[in-house]
Homo-oligomer: A and B are copies of this chain.
Amino acid sequence: MTERKNIAIMGAGLVGSLLSLYLAKRGHKVDLYERRPDLRKTSVDGGRSINLALSDRGWRALKGIGIEEDVRKVAIPMYGRMMHDEQGNLTYQPYGKEGQAIYSVSRGGLNMALMNLSEPNPDITYHFGRQAMDVNLHSNEVQLRNIETGSVETVQPDLLFGADGAFSVVRGAMQKTERYDYQQSYLEYGYKELTIPATADGGWVIEKNALHIWPRGNYMMIALPNFDGSFTCTLFFPYEGERSFASIKSEEDLLAFFREVFPDAVPLMPDLAQEYFSHPVGSLVTIKCFPWSHKGKSLLIGDACHAVVPFYGQGMNAGFEDITVLDQMLDTFDGEDWEELFHRFERTRKPNADAIADLAVMNFIEMRDKVADPRFLLRKKIEARISEQYPGKWLTLYTMVTFSELPYSYALETGKVQDRIMKQVMKHIKSVDDYNKPEVQQLIERELLKKEKLS
């Protein structure tokens, strides 16, 4: 048991809330400071909140604190991608093996569940409506403005965790330290959320257990199921250009465009125009930085140090995995040298954070463009055959990222090697049956041997 510390967590989002449970379990006193009001008391956006895809890394962190089953009750499994073409035809592609799924959960719902689970703990205290104004990394003092009263208080925890997201105030203070590596990069795409409502009796009007995609080359729409029968759709669309947020100026523009490119979705979206013109356009940022800690007194975690674009569905999962990894390190920590511990954490996680950031950008191209290509779908089938034939020797990149706990950096590197092999193999493939041709079998055999030698 290490010495009990007074810990402040900036941000009571998903990562901050889950982290509080893990730290309190180890006997520390935890205060969470959150700019926004209590989600549970203020109904945000009429109760309909966006959803996220929870996968193995996320589940593992929930399981580690014993709350997996509570969350599973409100999570909807999605076993594959359902692609919608421009005529409304559907093609289905499973994500993994029989039974493997990613899970649609409501961000707000999951956040509230984590708050409800942690708040009764006498060692955990939530403070809402507190905006971090300034962080002094030297003294570990944080100035917090009470949003209701306008008064400013100062807290000075033993340890400060920055779980305050892509625009982290704690990171802002670190950015001012000497020789700080920092990168923010935006895609030239924004996103807008739209809705496919539930049927009158609360059912789902399109396949419930799938992630729906309308891939259209340089843009796309996706839809994830909600527990109430609705789907939250997200349009990923260029800011500028011939077909872009900038080019759609009127309801006529909007409807003409949607009827042409998403014809099967339009009848399912009765509030399309009203939502389109009232919902904001969100931006898509990748944040990379280093180090993540300062003098063993403050540490960044989750989006605060590695915000990624959403296309691999791994943002929350990567943040939760941070907590799992930190908790494993705490298992063997003697409580003495927090600086060394934080350094070990940041050095371990940084290559994986960089890898998932790059994978997420790569997957955008796959989702919006390639999934509509018959050659790509054929390749996926051939790769599934290889994976079946050589179970221990070939996991698809998607499986490594989503259904395993292999480091993201290993997944990225192995994915590149496998990509080169698949390019070789596909030269010999016109249909799934070609997989059995002797030259294909020999090629795969040979390349797998080479791959093993590499690793």
CB within 8 Å of B: which A195-219 residues:
none
Interface positions, chain A 318-362, Cβ under 8 Å from B, are none
Contact with B along A102-141 (1 / 0, CB 8 A): 0000000000000000000000000000000000000000
A144-195 residues with Cβ-Cβ distance < 8 A to B are 178-186
> A308 CB to closest chain B CB, in angstroms?
15
Picked from B183, B185, B283, the residue with its CB within 8 Å of the CB of A185 is: B183
Partner of A283, one of B179, B182, B184: B179
Complex interface: chain B residues within 8 A of A283 (CB): 178-179
State the main secondary structure of chain A at its contact with B: strand
Are the C-beta atoms of B182 and A183 separated by less than 8 Å?
Answer: yes
- Interfacial chain B residues near A181, Cβ < 8 Å: 184-186
Would you call A184 and B180 a contact (CB within 8 A)? yes
8 Å CB contact of A184 from B182, B185, B186, B285: B182
Determine the residue in chain B with the shortest Cβ distance to A178: B283
Closest approach, in angstroms, between the C-beta of A211 and any C-beta of chain B?
Answer: 27
Using CB atoms, name the residue of chain B closest to A182. Answer: B184
A186 to chain B: closest residue by CB: B179
How distant is A251 from chain B, measured CB to nearest CB, in Å? Answer: 26
**Copies of this chain present:** 2
Cβ contacts under 8 Å, A182 to chain B: 182-185
Closest approach, in angstroms, between the C-beta of A66 and any C-beta of chain B?
Answer: 41
Measured between beta carbons, the chain B residues less than 8 angstroms from A184 are: 180-183
Contacts of A285 on B, CB cut-off 8 Å?
179
The interface centre, meaning the residue of A179, A180, A184, A285 with most chain B CB atoms within 10 A of its CB, is: A179
Give chain B nearest CB distance to A346 CB in angstroms.
Answer: 14
Q: Using CB atoms, name the residue of chain B closest to A190.
A: B179
In the bound complex, what is the Cα–Cα distance between A178 and B186 (angstroms)? 10
CA distance A180 to B185 in the complex (A): 7
A179 to B284, CA, bound (A): 9
In the assembled complex, how far is the CB of residue A295 from the closest CB belonging to chain B, in whole angstroms? Answer: 15
- Complex Cα spacing A178 to B239, Å: 12
Please give me the residue from chain B that is nearest to A183 by CB atom.
Answer: B183
CB distance from A185 to the nearest CB of B (A): 5
CB-nearest residue of chain B to A288: B183
For the complex formed, measure the closest distance between the CB of A174 and the CB atoms of chain B, giving whole angstroms: 12
Q: Which residues of B contact A183 (CB under 8 A)?
A: 182-185
Complex: A181 Cα to B283 Cα, angstroms: 12
Among A178, A183, A285, the most chain B Cβ lie within 10 Å of the Cβ of A183
A359 CA to B266 CA, complexed, in Å: 50
The CA-CA distance from A181 to B181 in the complex, in Å, is 14
Give Cα distance in the complex from A283 to B178, angstroms: 9
CB-CB < 8 A to A180: which residues of B?
184, 186
A239, B178: Cα distance in complex, Å: 12
Q: Which of A266-293 contact B (CB under 8 A)?
A: 283, 285
Closest to A181 in B: B185
- What are the residues of chain B within 8 A of A178 when measuring CB–CB? 283
Closest Cβ–Cβ distance, residue A183 to chain B (whole Å): 4
A185 to B175 alpha-carbon distance, docked (Å) = 11
Query: Please, could you name 5 A-B residue pairs with CB atoms under 8 Å apart, sorted by A?
Result: A179-B239, A181-B185, A182-B184, A183-B184, A183-B185
A: residues with CB less than 8 A from B are 178-186, 239, 283, 285
| Extra contacts besides A179-B285, A182-B185 (15): CB < 8 Å | A178-B283, A179-B186, A179-B239, A179-B283, A180-B184, A180-B186, A181-B184, A181-B185, A181-B186, A182-B182, A182-B183, A182-B184, A183-B183, A183-B184, A183-B185
7 closest residue pairs by CB, A with B: A183-B183, A179-B186, A181-B185, A179-B283, A182-B184, A181-B186, A181-B184
